[in-house]
Amino acid sequence: MGNCLHSSKKSISPSVTRSLSSGPSTSKIGSSTTTTGKLSNISSSTFGQSTGSGVSVDEPFPEGRILELPNLRIFTFNELRSATKNFKPEMVLGEGGFGTVFKGWVDEKTLNPSRSGIGMVVAVKKLNSESLQGLEEWQSEVNFLGRLSHPNLVKLLGYCLDERELLLVYEFMPKGSLENHLFRRGAAFDPLPWSLRLKIAIGAAKGLAFLHSSEKQIIYRDFKASNILLDMNYNPKLSDFGLAKNGPSGGDSHVTTRVMGTYGYAAPEYVATGHLYVKSDVYGFGVVLLEMLSGQRALDTNRPTGQHNLVDWAKPYLSDRRKLARLMDPRLEGQYPSKAALQAAQLTLKCLAGEPKNRPSMKEVVETLEQIDAFKGRSKDTRDTPPPPHMPRRSPVHHRSTLHPNPDVAGQGARGNHHPPRLR
């Protein structure tokens, strides 16, 4: 599922990877025109009942909470059609495997549709009616994100299940995705300074730690830069819970499931065996942390041979201070504490450990990042340090992974038409 919850138009993630599921093959989905009660026959068994239209948009508890039932506004299709100006093309924020994402306007208190420019901006995802994959992920999104409340998770405000129409309504994230700020060019995407990168890393880590510390442990399963969205103050929030899954229970160490996720970010044990651990998410976090340090994409076939996979290529540079300086993002222009960067690199290595048991917990990751943030060392200028042989400073091409057949709706990245083969 996509995550275009912000203002940058026409964005598609480069490396989205989901296996097409064999979800329900219903030809018609039950309608819902009221604002209370069950989602529908097809979904009520999955998530129970919504608490109706009295949804609160207040700030969540600082440490987060999990509701027994989704607390969401149930919109009619006509309401969302009105909020998005009849889904006009100029309201499109992005497109992807889930469908199209539109900008909409609603009243801040009632969430009733309002005229363009009046009230609160929201992002409205509209499911492609032919997408069985989208139906299954729509259900997962409501089931998980509809019950989760945390400062570092995007707010799901409501949904629509009306005849054949499936839609989701989210808070709007004006600064777009971390992916855009790391890899795109233009006036709207200034290079992120070290302090902001660390702030984003800490917030995203707290979001994952919250999921992992819940009673049933929730595995996010698709942690990547395009799924980390930023509010006006660059506070990060995890979006897109279409692949989220409950963790192991009964003393089991893992759950076995179809391999779904994104090449370059998915943990090696999961790709190889289908065994999904809570710490499989930690590996994905390590990949994103490496992207934030280096300014390079996790996968890019436009880099020289042997450097397509960032993790494989960059690992030897993470434990040596001198080598690390050659790996660091040149857009930082050397303006970062070298000791703090080395500590972050060493943490990255731990997250990328081959065995899940050797990776730190996300709680430990948060603690380490906060310690690094507290370190106010002098910035070391690395601008005169040459790059490693044949290492391009930046790839201009947005590469899509072969693990996911559909582009991600993120409003981050350029619109694309390439559909690589599915993993399964």
Percent of the chain at pLDDT > 90 equals: 54
Percent of the chain at pLDDT > 70 equals: 72
Q: Count CB-CB contacts under 10 A for residue 72.
A: 27
For residue 157, pLDDT over 50 is answered with yes
Which one of 222, 240, 281, 300 is the catalytic residue?
222
Mean pLDDT estimate for the chain:
78
Three-state DSSP at 160 gives: strand
For residue 63, pLDDT over 80 is answered with no
Please report the pLDDT score of residue 80 as a whole number. 95
For residue 397, pLDDT over 50 is answered with no
Three-state DSSP at 365 gives: helix
| Structure tokens, 237 | 């929030």
Please report the pLDDT score of residue 216 as a whole number. 80
For residue 128, pLDDT over 60 is answered with yes
Q: For 86-110, what is the mean pLDDT?
A: 88
Binding site members: 126
Examine domains 12-171 and 178-409 and report if their fold is the same: no
Please report the pLDDT score of residue 51 as a whole number. 43
What top-level class would CATH report for the domain 12-171? alpha beta
> Is 222 a residue of the active site?
yes
Q: Which of 18-27, 253-262, 357-366 has the highest mean pLDDT?
A: 357-366
Binding site members for ATP: 126
Q: For 203-214, what is the mean pLDDT?
A: 95
- Residue 288 carries which DSSP code? H
Q: For 147-151, what is the mean pLDDT?
A: 93
Position 398 confidence tier, pLDDT thresholds 50, 70, 90? very low
Q: Count CB-CB contacts under 10 A for residue 249.
A: 9
For residue 96, pLDDT over 90 is answered with no
Position 40 confidence tier, pLDDT thresholds 50, 70, 90? very low
Position 395 confidence tier, pLDDT thresholds 50, 70, 90? very low
For residue 375, pLDDT over 70 is answered with yes
Position 387 confidence tier, pLDDT thresholds 50, 70, 90? very low
The reply to whether the predicted model has a pTM over 0.85 is no
For residue 29, pLDDT over 90 is answered with no
| Structure tokens, 363 | 């709680």
Residue 306 backbone zone (phi > 0: left; psi -120 to 50: alpha; other: beta): left
More confident residue, 159 or 46: 159
Q: Count CB-CB contacts under 10 A for residue 335.
A: 15
For residue 247, pLDDT over 70 is answered with yes
For residue 46, pLDDT over 70 is answered with no
Q: Which of 9-13, 129-133, 145-149, 192-196 has the highest mean pLDDT?
A: 192-196
Going by CATH, does the domain composed of 178-409 fall within 2.40.50.100? no
More confident residue, 91 or 25: 91
Position 401 confidence tier, pLDDT thresholds 50, 70, 90? very low
Residue-wise over 402-411: b if at least 16 C-beta within 10 A, else e? ebbbbbbbbb
Per-residue pLDDT tens over the stretch 302-326: 999 999 999 999 999 998 989 999 9
- Give domain limits for the chain: 12-171, 178-409
For residue 188, pLDDT over 70 is answered with no
Residue-wise over 32-57: b if at least 16 C-beta within 10 A, else e? beebeebbbebbeeebeebbebebee
Position 214 confidence tier, pLDDT thresholds 50, 70, 90? confident
Please report the pLDDT score of residue 208 as a whole number. 97
- Taking Cα atoms as reference points, which of 383, 380, 288 lies closest to residue 330? 383
